[in-house]
Amino acid sequence: MPDRVRNPSTPVIPTTTPNRPATTPQAPAAPTTAPAGWAPKSNDKVLFVAMNNSDAHRSTLESDALKARGTNVTVIQDSKVDDTIGTHKLSTPEGAMSFALTLGLPGEQTKKIAEVLQNAGPDARDELAQIAQQWAVAEKGGQAPSRLVLSGHHVGSGVYGENNGRLDWPTVGALAEAMPHGAKSVEDLLIAGCYSGGQNMMEKYTAMFPGAKTIVAYDGSSPGAASGATAHQKAWERSTRGSGEGITRELFQGMRKGENVTVWTKTRGFDDGKPRATVDELKQRRTALESGFNDAWAGGAIPDTQRGPVRDYYNATQRLIQHPDTTPTERKSLEAQRDQTIRLIFHGPVSARFQETYGAKLSAGYQALGLPAPDFKTMNRAQALASIQQFETALAATPAAGEAATKLAPILRDFAELKSSLIPDTWI
């Protein structure tokens, strides 16, 4: 995930007006398909998806910097009303279909797009629908932007933003499958998010975007909008013009977090600037870091979220996930451990969101056992674990505890285990 950069005392206000889907047609358009022989063409247009446009990160600062270079940039960002485009409420079958009909595509394809939108995660359907609007141009024989930027936080499952949804990779892949001309139009892809650039991820991207000739992502943390991302993206924009494959890792040398850039090109393949380690070597490195993780898991302090033993353990886990020789079974287990580790690193903001979301249930459950209601927002992990243990002990000693306490118990256990099923990526 990009660096957490807090607002300066005088905020920088983007000069662009946020893209809102106000011009979305409200009536179904006549179905149109691309003519036989259609093919995408390099056009240097950029489709910029600003998933993390929170006050602290301002993804549109990045797209503004590209626009200042004279680049043709179409910006997609969160709609004013979650999961809504115009009058279309995308979370309902009727709303998803009524929107898909406005794209003017054949019936079966329209149905697939509507299903993708309806099945997408909350507060990401609006961005996904705006991507579909752009790709529909190619589906009908026109030319969609040939360069795509997905900007936001990333821990492995998709690109997301604070107080926004997540474009998870299976959903992006489903939209690409439903709109193959649009997906094939993407020649140059930039994932401006952390831990997005391992070899395994590159294989995932090339499967979704079969027309890709260059991909840039990050093997490690990426810079935020106010801490280096604009410099990276200027270099990317300059080197991806036209139909060549001129981009290399060397372009980012000397830039902040430039060492974390990974590049894939159609002719040269994957390059992360690191010697190839065997999967066994990566396992040994990760095992050597487990004690630091275990200490923090038990309640030890993490004074710095960007560096230190737990961040090193997280990095080692990510690299092992990305190694091509990691088995699918191992990768699934590692992904669960990765998700727990990043939630441990950012236990502070996770605890705050947990308290905000479950405050009423916490109060009712603890009070049912005669315990004072905790404020997890103010607790470190050691204090949180002690509070949960106190609750568990009191619950075991109270046979007729009542529904408020018994229903709270599994929520507290999942919070103690930092499970992704309880704690979404968007809390991080």
Of 51-60, 250-259, 391-400, 419-428, the one with minimum mean pLDDT is 51-60
Q: Residue 274 — pLDDT band, cuts 50, 70, 90?
A: confident
Most confident of 199-208, 231-240, 265-274: 231-240
pLDDT for residue 37: 87
Q: Are the CB atoms for 202 and 264 separated by under 8 Å?
A: yes
57: pLDDT strictly greater than 70: no
CA distance 184 to 212: 7
**pLDDT, tens digit (0-9, with 9 covering 90-100), for 179-213:** 999 999 999 999 999 999 988 899 899 999 999 99
Q: Are the CB atoms for 147 and 239 separated by under 8 Å?
A: no
CA distance 120 to 116: 6
φ and ψ at 99, to 5 degrees? -70, -45
- The helix-helix angle for 309-322 and 279-288 (nearest 10°) equals 160
Ramachandran area for residue 190 (φ above 0: left; ψ -120 to 50: alpha; else beta): beta
pLDDT for residue 28: 65
Q: Which helix (H) or strand (E) holds 73?
A: strand 73-77
CA distance 101 to 110: 6
3-class SS letters over 260-320? HEEEEECCCEEECCCCCCCHHHHHHHHHHCHHHHHHHHCCCCCCCCCCCHHHHHHHHHHHH
Angle in degrees, CA 162, 168, 173, rounded to 5: 150
Listed in sequence order, the residues at least 6 apart from 361 whose beta carbon sits closer than 8 Å to its beta carbon are 404, 407, 408, 411
pLDDT for residue 27: 57
Predicted model pTM: 0.77
Q: Which helix (H) or strand (E) holds 46?
A: strand 46-50
Kindly state the average pLDDT of the residues 241-247.
Answer: 93
- DSSP for 160-219, written as a single string: E-TTS-EEEHHHHHHHHHHSHHHHHT--EEEEESTT--SHHHHHHHHHH-TT-SEEEEES
**pLDDT, tens digit (0-9, with 9 covering 90-100), for 372-402:** 999 999 999 999 999 999 999 999 999 899 9
Q: Residue 5 — pLDDT band, cuts 50, 70, 90?
A: very low
**pLDDT, tens digit (0-9, with 9 covering 90-100), for 301-346:** 999 988 899 999 998 998 899 888 999 999 999 999 999 999 999 9
CA distance 384 to 380: 6
Distances (CA, A) of 323 to 287, 319, 350: 16, 6, 29
CA distance 209 to 189: 9
pLDDT for residue 56: 64
Two tokens, residue 180: 């193959």
Kindly state the average pLDDT of the residues 401-409.
Answer: 96
- Domain ranges in the chain are 21-271, 279-345, 348-425
Kindly state the average pLDDT of the residues 259-265.
Answer: 96
Q: Are the CB atoms for 125 and 95 separated by under 8 Å?
A: no
Q: What whole-number percentage of the chain has pLDDT above 70? A: 92
Q: Residue 6 — pLDDT band, cuts 50, 70, 90?
A: very low
**pLDDT, tens digit (0-9, with 9 covering 90-100), for 105-123:** 999 999 999 999 999 999 9
pLDDT for residue 8: 31
pLDDT for residue 426: 85
- The CATH code for residues 21-271 is 3.40.50
pLDDT for residue 158: 95
**pLDDT, tens digit (0-9, with 9 covering 90-100), for 20-43:** 443 444 556 678 888 888 999 999
> How confident is the prediction for the chain on average, in pLDDT?
90
Kindly state the average pLDDT of the residues 250-259.
Answer: 95
15: pLDDT strictly greater than 50: no
pLDDT for residue 30: 73
Q: Residue 55 — pLDDT band, cuts 50, 70, 90?
A: low
Distances (CA, A) of 264 to 154, 187, 251, 258, 382: 18, 12, 14, 15, 43
Q: Which has the higher per-residue pLDDT, 147 or 4?
A: 147
φ and ψ at 83, to 5 degrees? 55, 35
Q: Are the CB atoms for 93 and 85 separated by under 8 Å?
A: no
SS3 89: strand
Cα–chain-centroid distance for residue 301?
27
145: pLDDT strictly greater than 70: yes
Q: Which of 310, 313, 312, 332 is nearest to 321 (CA)?
A: 332
